Structure 1
Amino acid sequence: MPLPRPAPGTGRWWVIGTIGCTIGVALAVWLGLANSLGAVTWTDTDYKVLDDRSVQVGFDVHRSPDQAVTCTVQAQDAAHGVLGVLKVRVPPSAERSVHQQVVVRTASRAVGGSVRYCAPS
């Protein structure tokens, strides 16, 4: 079955609309890729409460090779209050992903630990 043809005199607007939509999609894809390339990401892998004053936190940092990164790691209580904070510098290396294991000192017994933020340094 053949497709219906546009009404006479509207073909030009169909072409302009199609070109406009194509440009809009291309722009959205370009902006999305431009904002994500070179971005620093991290993944919390584990935590272990060692005692009443410390928690061990493990995490992976994903960044461009040879890029130094500083991560803020925190320990939390049951109400998600922050009990301790540690800034960790991940030195540059040839690897894109690096695993880190750190001990965060706390004011009282923590129930968890995680990375709050990582940024290039």
Structure 2
Amino acid sequence: MPLPRPAPGTGRWWVIGTIGCAIGVALAVWLGLANSLGRVTWTDTDYKVVDDRSVQVGFDVHRDPGQAVTCTVEAQDAAHGVVGVIQVAVPAGTERSVHQQVSVRTASRAVGGSVRSCDKTP
């Protein structure tokens, strides 16, 4: 028994739908890459409370080679209040990832330290 023949013109919609989906996927990939390339990111690696007035904070900065970055590092007390802040300039270099170790002076005893933000330096 022969199969029924599809209605004329339905194959064209399958082709148009497939092309539309392919364009949509390509656009999503392109926008995702455009938003992530050139961004500055960081990873907090460690901290050490030195005394009642300072804390050492270690972090890695990930940026494009040749891009200078300024990071804001803060120390927090037990109530999560900020007790110390410092701006750290990370100079441009040839490496994509750079480790930084900084000392943050505090107004009272800190229990931790972390990076609040990192931005490209113009």
Fold conserved between structures, TM > 0.5: yes
Identity over the aligned pairs, expressed in percent?
A: 81
Amino acid at match of 1:99: H
Alpha-carbon offset, residue 117 of structure 1: 0.6
For residues 38 and 6 of structure 1, do their structure 2 counterparts lie closer, same or farther at Cα, with a shift above 3 Å needed?
A: farther
CA distance in 2: counterparts of 1:43 and 1:83, whole angstroms: 21
Amino acid at match of 2:96: R
For residues 10 and 70 of structure 1, do their structure 2 counterparts lie closer, same or farther at Cα, with a shift above 3 Å needed?
A: same
Could you say which structure has the larger radius of gyration?
2
CA distance in 2: counterparts of 1:37 and 1:6, whole angstroms: 50
Give the aligned CA root-mean-square deviation in angstroms.
1.8
Gaps of 5+ in 1: none
Amino acid at match of 2:51: D
CA distance in 1: counterparts of 2:112 and 2:83, whole angstroms: 10
Q: Tell me the SS of whatever aligns to 2:117.
A: strand
Quick check: 1:67 aligned with 2:52? no
Amino acid at match of 1:44: D
Alpha-carbon offset, residue 12 of structure 1: 1.8
**Count of residue pairs the alignment pairs up:** 118
Quick check: 1:56 aligned with 2:62? no
User: Normalized against structure 2, the TM-score is what?
Assistant: 0.89
CA distance in 2: counterparts of 1:75 and 1:24, whole angstroms: 45
CA distance in 1: counterparts of 2:11 and 2:50, whole angstroms: 71
Correspondence list, 1:17-96, <5 A: 17-96=17-96
User: Normalized against structure 1, the TM-score is what?
Assistant: 0.90
CA distance in 1: counterparts of 2:79 and 2:30, whole angstroms: 41
Q: Tell me the SS of whatever aligns to 1:30.
A: helix
